[in-house]
Structure 1
């Protein structure tokens, strides 16, 4: 009998494949949702949402299900693919290029970049955006943290980050969250692989204040730029556009504190718990 073709004509999404696999595995195991909840310690209603595809879950629940079903890391791999399904096409293209990059330069005027965020900081940043259910929030936090594996690879690209001073001194709802985030930045600074520089308030106005800029250098010598605000993002691959944005970045880097002075400033701010409202501009 020939293989059954999809009536929709479209390739099923990884999210739908994950949901279908979860439902199949439970059916084959003969377990009820209640029994599965007892074995994984996750709520049965939440597990049901995973099987319906309403939620994609977190790495923790998927690892627990891999353990219950003895599927190795099969479900975890499907989960990694499923997290990419919700990403806009423009950003998917950026992520594809990101995997090939040899150098990554980034400037952030408002928040610590996702690759350097702690779990608590990421949760607060995402909670401050559009309304999300508790499940959706935790899934997005998990997806953001999963992308940080990029920085743990032995052959990781060189990563240079310019942080506006406002990023460092802005208060968080929980003071401990900010302290832990500053500590993370200090420990992540690892030249030449990860270089962190602070752009002080004294640098004044510049043309990148409107959003985050990321520059990627590819093995073939090409480079691309991604400019992102809180509501949109634009990928630039035209050489002239990228060169213009690269010049803006270079001018900012010239005004930034050297790496050692930047780390020392972060250390001081962490130790005295100073924020924008409690300290003078540098």
Structure 2
């Protein structure tokens, strides 16, 4: 899933600027498209970052919105630099993932921080190969061939966790994830040991990954609503984005403040309720001992 981090950031900045200046101008997407003599689908594709933006379209649109000349010229140059695809193996990814999730993978690369809560399974980017295979073939009923392609993409995506210039990651997992058998005891032990390695090499050791565990003793929490991911961006033109997955595997996003903010609050509450790093380490050590028995 090779992708240029800087290009992903640039595309995200362009999308944010187009939306920002349209809102400042007081236009709906339909109004903006009509004013430019475009179809609505063309404007939506431009704002969503689908395909390579035409630099002249970007310049004309920002000029129409009344953006300062320097801003319009800056994003004209951004559009010139962007390739038609950010994800180099996009066709392969689209053959196994829905389009919304492929868009998420691109947005993830351009983010400054990824915050993820999951109540029922280890997030894909943290999974071992065997744990992922068991989930995909038994829980999600994927064929062996599909599972292999998805796992290959996930293993490559895990390189993000080691990038010095990539996003920071903060995961909160429900304790039940560590207790629920997925495959053999060896599969679970290796998966938990992978998480241990991240805990031991966490932010306290200048790493960019933090893993926390919400104890079962926390009882009923807002996290019962289901898993979600929050992407944060450093640039001023971009709102934080919420990504959610339905039980059917459909992936969708929201970037309006009133929709994202409640989940930012929920994540903060889950963080406060989670085990300390020391308590989590002790709990995980006991689990690993049990899996050796």
TM-score range, shorter chain: 0.5 to 0.7
Of 206, 209, 234 in structure 2, the residue corresponding to residue 194 of structure 1 is 209
Of 243, 261, 266 in structure 2, the residue corresponding to residue 248 of structure 1 is 266
The answer to whether the 8 Å contact 2:109/2:166 transfers is no
Q: Distance in 2 between matches of 1:167 and 1:115?
A: 15
Runs (4+) of structure 1 exceeding 4 A deviation are: none
Quote the offset at 1:213 in angstroms. 1.2
The answer to whether the 8 Å contact 2:243/2:253 transfers is yes
Quote the offset at 1:210 in angstroms. 3.5
**TM-score of the superposed pair, with normalisation by structure 1:** 0.65
Q: Distance in 1 between matches of 2:88 and 2:167?
A: 25
Gaps of 5+ in 1: 1-76, 275-282
Q: Distance in 2 between matches of 1:92 and 1:264?
A: 37
CA RMSD of aligned residues (A): 2.2
Counterpart secondary structure, 2:117: strand
Of 264, 275, 280 in structure 2, the residue corresponding to residue 262 of structure 1 is 280
Q: Does 1:237 align with 2:255?
A: yes
Relative to structure 1, is the Cα distance of residues 88 and 170 closer, same or farther in structure 2, using a 3 angstrom cutoff?
same
Aligned to 1:206: 221
The answer to whether the 8 Å contact 2:137/2:144 transfers is no
Counterpart secondary structure, 1:104: strand
Of 157, 161, 166 in structure 1, the residue corresponding to residue 171 of structure 2 is 161
Of 140, 146, 158 in structure 2, the residue corresponding to residue 148 of structure 1 is 158
**TM-score of the superposed pair, with normalisation by structure 2:** 0.63
Q: Distance in 2 between matches of 1:155 and 1:102?
A: 9
Q: Does 1:92 align with 2:102?
A: yes
Q: Distance in 1 between matches of 2:143 and 2:113?
A: 36
Quote the offset at 1:251 in angstroms. 0.8
Q: Deviations over 1:226-274 (max 9, x none)?
A: 1223313321111111111110111111111122322332122111229
Quote the offset at 1:155 in angstroms. 1.7
Gaps of 5+ in 2: 1-85
Q: Deviations over 1:66-120 (max 9, x none)?
A: xxxxxxxxxxx99733332233222233222211111111111000001110000
Q: Distance in 2 between matches of 1:223 and 1:166?
A: 29
Moved more, 206-215 or 121-130: 206-215
